Amino acid sequence: MLGQATSGPELIALVGPTGVGKSELAISLAPGLNAEIVSADSRQIYRYMDIGTAKPTLEDQARVPHHLIDIVDPDEIYTLAMYQEEALHCIDGIIKHGCVPLLVGGTGLYVRAVVEGLQIPHVAPNPKVRAELEEKARTCGPEALYQELSRVDPAAAAKIDPQNLRRIIRALEVYHLTGQPISHLQRADGSRYRVLMIGLTMPREELYHRIDARVDRMIARGLVEEVKRLVAMSYGYELPAMSGLGYKQIGSYLRGEIGLDEAIKMIKYQTHRLARQQYMWFRLSDPKIRWLEQGPEAASAAYRLTRAFLSGTGSI
């Protein structure tokens, strides 16, 4: 990660692949640090989408203040620039009332926007261009849009999950409106905060087993019923939010295109793929990330790191 400040108010960022246990670690750390959690998860922003996005429970949210969860409806547009503005506002507010901001999530671009002071192109959403791209996705499949993005902006395509239709459309929208790749327009001008980045990791096969178990729990908790409920609320399958992991595959099952077992298998496979992509964002070789192995000692190690950082006795 580039652009971290050596002075300024402190910000702790907890990153890593999906399913590794970032939320649980953050919730265990927060009380002892007098911290509030700012979500850096591009799926937990949506209201009514709780099970498939693995949101913290209402009990956890009551125990530790959370920000930027449940902030838009599934059919609303929410851009990276909007996230950055709201995240910075939340973080500054947390600092102002004497608490520690804890940025938690696996959406690399969200983390970069805050930690690196990413300069985001101010290109307003264009309904006409967006509608044309969405229609192409419906008729030709999301793969066609991803292939187009790979041609015009390979740097952006390399960091976007091919299943993340919302981000693919936004990158193509910026390209069509400006003639420039979004990766060229985004630059890091440096953070306004002094940042400690902690990464949580575990052996790949163990992570996959953990992901698979979480998917099974989502099904048991009612993911199928959640998708049915969203459709009944008039949130159509074509919405970018509904093309997210879990919702897309269960949608295919509910339309009779695949069986439930196949849908579950696809969710697990695609979540493994997302985890691999997140390791591209948060590299194990990055010297600015203090990587901790998930396990019984992770919480105590993270607490020691954060206390040393906040007291000024630890380096970043």
Question: What are 312's two structure tokens?
Answer: 């000024």
CA 110 from chain centre, in angstroms, equals 7
pLDDT at 2: 39
> What's residue 316's pLDDT?
46
Strand partners, 291: 199
User: In this structure, are residues 50 and 227 in contact, taking their beta carbons and an 8 Å threshold?
Assistant: no
Q: What is the pLDDT of residues 37-91, one digit of tens each?
A: 999 999 999 999 999 999 999 999 999 999 999 999 999 989 899 999 999 999 9
Beta strands in 87-208 (DSSP E): 100-104, 118-119, 187-188, 194-201
Pairing of β 187-188 and β 118-119: antiparallel
Nearest to 67 by CA among 91, 99, 42: 91
Q: Which residues contact 65 (CB under 8 A, 6 or more apart)?
A: 36, 37
- In DSSP terms, 36 is beta-bridged to 101
> What element of type H or E holds 39?
strand 35-39
Residues 85 and 149: their CA atoms lie apart, in Å, by 26
Closest CA to 206 of 13, 17, 57, 24: 17
- DSSP class of residue 238 equals T
Low-confidence spans in the chain with pLDDT less than 50: 1-3, 315-316
**What is the distance of C-alpha 270 from the center of its chain?**
15
Amino acid residing at 18:
T
pLDDT tens column, 280-304: 889 989 999 999 999 999 999 999 9
Any bridge partners for residue 39, and if so which? 104
Q: What is the pLDDT of residue 314?
A: 56
Tokens of 199: 């990464």
Q: What single DSSP character describes residue 3? A: -
Q: What are phi and psi of 213, to 5 degrees?
A: -65, -35
Contact of 206 with 20, CB cutoff 8 Å:
no
Rounded Cα–Cα distance for residues 292 and 304 (Å): 12
Compute the distance between CA of residue 95 and CA of residue 110 in angstroms, rounded to an integer: 19
Instruction: For residues 157 and 162, give the distance between their C-alpha atoms in angstroms, rounded to a whole number.
Output: 8
Q: Which helix (H) or strand (E) holds 115?
A: helix 108-115
Could you give the C-alpha distances from 146 to 121, 172, 274, in angstroms and in order? 20, 9, 15
Contacts of residue 135, defined as CB under 8 A and 6 or more positions apart, other chains included, come to: none
